[in-house]
Amino acid sequence: MPLRGAGGNTRKQTHTMLNVTPVTPDAIPVAVPPEMGVSFDTLGLIDAIRNAVRGENYTTPTPIQAQAIPHLLAGRDLLGCAQTGTGKTAAFALPILQRLAESRRPAGARKMRALILTPTRELASQIDESFRAYGRHVGLSSHVIFGGVGQRPQVQALQRGLDILVATPGRLLDLMNQGHARLDTVEVFVLDEADRMLDMGFIHDVKKIIAALPAKRQTLLFSATMPNDIAHLADRILNQPVRVAVTPVAATADRIDQWVLHVERSNKRALLDSVLKDRSIARALVFSRTKHGANKIAEQLARGGVAAEAIHGNKSQGARERALANFKAGKIRVLVATDIAARGIDIDDVTHVINYDLPNVPESYVHRIGRTARAGASGVAISFCDREERAYLRDIEKLIRKAVPVVENHPFRLEPGAPGSDPAPARPQQGHRGKGGGRPQHRQQRRRRR
């Protein structure tokens, strides 16, 4: 079964073509090759930030960093279309740190100068860690707030006033409603993973937060995909933005080998055991569509001798952080996750992503498999597809504009002529997009605030 992939933790830069255009109807994209001699020393960054970047062992800017940073240093609004692993956190963090360091002023109690809004706890924590690493020499204050933990330390940090706040929308809105947070001094606003905000039902909270921001500000919006709702939001909140796009919207990374295995649902558990016998799968992220399913998969793997833990929205923050730490440290081989929890997983050496359940939102497939092949490494994405998921697979292939190769020679394959082995079964009812472009049912249900 050709499922091998080379993982690695050597930090390399992504070599992709970059389009930089103002967002106007008649804009003509300009292809910018990465080999133009751009370095962090030529981007206009101050010494303190360049020294921090060198301390992180970054050598050459990624395409999104090379093109976004000069525009952001000049104060432009920006619309960034970039899939995960392209270096976009540094692309917005470095110019924000420089702007705040060059014009120091107190934010005031319960206020902040820069606000980064992101959908999940894990991603919020990692962005905050990045700001602290890149800004270690500039002496700015930062804090991260999210749900699932006590709010007292977060309230205390806000009372002192902050240069930089990284937050999830639910908890931030709660603290605003309690009078603990005010946004009228925000100079730079970043909406990160905007499409994921939409998927998770946070878009109404996001709009309430945006309404509390000052009209005069620099605004950055990043999204891996650009559904209509996000495009309309970008048109409303961005002022003559520069558009930076790395790879086509909804494209999957070239370094990811993708495979699909057709299997009866009742055989998925045995198929996962069979696949994990391949020792080249050094560190695997397994996706379940439900929290209960994630728990069950992790428990069954552990009983079978495979070190595994689950991570999802019902886990406490401490449990989620321990699971991530164990995964990063190699103490567990498999991390089982739901889509909500996994967006913030940023680990360079995930060798394989396994879709135990195919997502019923095709954009989620792009986000999932983007967890591998990071920082220049290659990776493998393996998807199990039962008879009821064939429609989801067709939607995914339509989105990524190519067919996912099928592995035929596995022991649990659907035999020709077996129920569900025909290429066009009826579309599942769950998540069905009806006539008129209705959203999948799970999108219509508001998620509990983070």
Q: Is 450 part of any domain?
A: no
Domain end among 246, 270, 295: 246
Identify the pLDDT of residue 225. Answer: 80
Q: Sign of dihedral through CA atoms 156, 158, 160, 164?
A: positive
Least confident of 56-70, 204-218, 407-421: 407-421
One domain for residues 260 and 209: no
For the record, the structure tokens of 232 come out as 């309309």
Identify the pLDDT of residue 36. Answer: 52
Q: Is 132 part of any domain?
A: yes
One domain for residues 266 and 240: no
Q: Is 52 part of any domain?
A: yes
Identify the pLDDT of residue 378. Answer: 80
Instruction: Determine the Cα–Cα distance for residues 384 and 272; give it in Å rounded to an integer.
Output: 9
One domain for residues 206 and 309: no
One domain for residues 42 and 153: yes
Q: Is 171 part of any domain?
A: yes
One domain for residues 238 and 275: no
What are the pLDDT digits (tens) for 362-398? 878 888 888 887 766 789 999 999 988 998 999 899 8
For the record, the structure tokens of 374 come out as 């990071």
Q: Check residue 252 and report its DSSP letter.
A: P
Instruction: Answer for the pair 307, 334: CB distance below 8 angstroms, yes or no.
Output: yes
Q: Sign of dihedral through CA atoms 63, 50, 85, 118?
A: negative
One domain for residues 224 and 297: no
Give every strand in the sheet of 256-262, ordered side by side.
256-262, 379-385, 352-355, 284-287, 334-337, 308-311
Q: Is 67 part of any domain?
A: yes
One domain for residues 270 and 200: no
One domain for residues 334 and 237: no
**One-character DSSP codes across 424-442:** -PPPPSTT---TTTPPPHH
Q: Is 424 part of any domain?
A: yes
Instruction: Determine the Cα–Cα distance for residues 40 and 43; give it in Å rounded to an integer.
Output: 5
One domain for residues 216 and 234: yes
One domain for residues 269 and 365: yes
Instruction: Answer for the pair 399, 224: CB distance below 8 angstroms, yes or no.
Output: no
Domain end among 199, 226, 246: 246
Please give the tally of structural domains in the chain. Answer: 2
Residue 391: which domain range? Answer: 256-444
Q: Is 306 part of any domain?
A: yes
Identify the pLDDT of residue 340. Answer: 66
Q: Which residues pair with 114 in a beta bridge?
A: 164, 188
What are the pLDDT digits (tens) for 173-199? 999 999 999 999 999 999 999 988 888
pLDDT band with cut points at 50, 70 and 90 for residue 126:
confident
Q: Is 335 part of any domain?
A: yes
One domain for residues 352 and 240: no
For the record, the structure tokens of 170 come out as 């639910």
Q: Check residue 298 and report its DSSP letter.
A: H
Domain end among 217, 246, 275: 246
pTM of the model: 0.60
One domain for residues 286 and 386: yes
Does residue 332 have a pLDDT over 90? yes
> Pairing relation of β-strands 284-287 and 334-337?
parallel
Element holding 246 (H helix, E strand): strand 242-246
CATH at 167: 3.40.50.300
